[in-house]
Amino acid sequence: MKKEDKSVIIWLLSGCALLFIMVMVGGITRLTNSGLSMTDWHLITDTFPPLTEEKWEHAFEEYKKFPEYQQINIHNDFGLSDYKFIYFWEWFHRFIGRIIGMVFIIPFVYFLIKKRLSSETIKKCIVLLGMGAFQGFLGWFMVKSGLIDNPDVSHFRLSLHLTFAFITFAYTLWVALDLIYPNKIEVIKPLRTIARIALVVLIIQIIYGGFVAGLNAGLVHNHWPLMSDGQFFHESIALEKDSWLLRLTEGKSGVQFVHRTMAYVVVGLMLYLYFRSKKYVLNTTQKKGLTTLVAIVFVQFALGVFTLLFHVPLWLGLAHQLVAFVLLSTMVFTLHRLSK
């Protein structure tokens, strides 16, 4: 890397680390059913949680006006202390979002003033700022879907919010890698093509992971390698919805079937990429990227299986989501080293 780019790289990688934390807290928020605890959104006034008991009571009374309390928690002996717990996780999630905004905007302005960014990097950073703003909108767009009639957020919106966070992270990492490795290398086009396909399939798998999370589809068919009743393609898939499009995008059994089956495709593609690479002379960085990729994809596959078998306990569900983040990071790194 160029010495003058070091501080910019640290800035971008710090953003990556914060995005990782953001997704981790978002996973806890989802798995603890905390996402609908804050029923409004204000850029400034929600920065800190209620500071007095009176304000807590007011926030709790506002929460009681919405479907999650009226249809679910009113029957669960749900009190103020319970509300404070779920409020904390949603507030913390939003608070980190604000921190990320400041971490991206303030150094960006500083680097612009100091003329530390090339015109190409400036364009990429503007895209990143736009992606961050859009991600904030997607978060509220998701929450809003659970504040009308249904006490659950739309699984489509949840998946969109989650997947776009992954994509924002991936692009931030890619911009940092462009600065870390400024020198061009000879591209091995067949490997690059396979890596690109693997990345696209991995993103589709992440989308379906969001569907599974949003529909709580991990709580059905808790068996492996086959679904319930020893069936590879369980009969319930065809019964849940009226069309195959809906069955495979809105039915719990159908969504889980796609997610668990595509896991084999993801593993297969990454193994194919690894063994195909043996036909070429690679540098040390490329070899390490491919080896790490294969190791992590097997860890992620195993976590997926155990998460399913143990009915999605909090720690396993969170671990599965976080290792997906690590897997995407390794995939992006490997593709970058095979592309530039």
Measure the CA–CA gap between 91 and 49, rounded to whole angstroms.
Answer: 7
* Helix (H) or strand (E) segment spanning residue 214: helix 189-215
Helix (H, G, I), strand (E, B) or coil at 181: coil
CB under 8 A, 24+ apart: contacts of 299-308? 299/323, 300/324, 300/326, 300/327, 301/263, 301/266, 301/267, 304/260, 304/263, 305/224, 307/218, 308/218, 308/221, 308/222, 308/223, 308/224, 308/260
The tally of CA atoms less than 13 A away on the side-chain side of residue 188 is 18
H helices, E strands: number in the chain: 12, 0
For residue 159 the two structure tokens come to: 């998946």
Ordered DSSP codes for 256-324:
HHHHHHHHHHHHHHHHHHHHHGGGS---HHHHHHHHHHHHHHHHHHHHHHHHHHTT--HHHHHHHHHHH
Measure the CA–CA gap between 123 and 129, rounded to whole angstroms.
Answer: 10
- Binding-site residue set for heme: 259, 320
Residue type, 213: A
Tokens 């890397």 belong to residue: 1
The tally of CA atoms less than 13 A away on the side-chain side of residue 83 is 24
Measure the CA–CA gap between 110 and 126, rounded to whole angstroms.
Answer: 14
Q: At what angle do helices 284-309 and 314-339 cross, to 10 degrees?
A: 160
Fill in the DSSP letter of residue 70: I
Is the C-alpha dihedral spanning 125, 130, 133, 134 positive or negative? negative
- Binding-site residue set: 259, 320
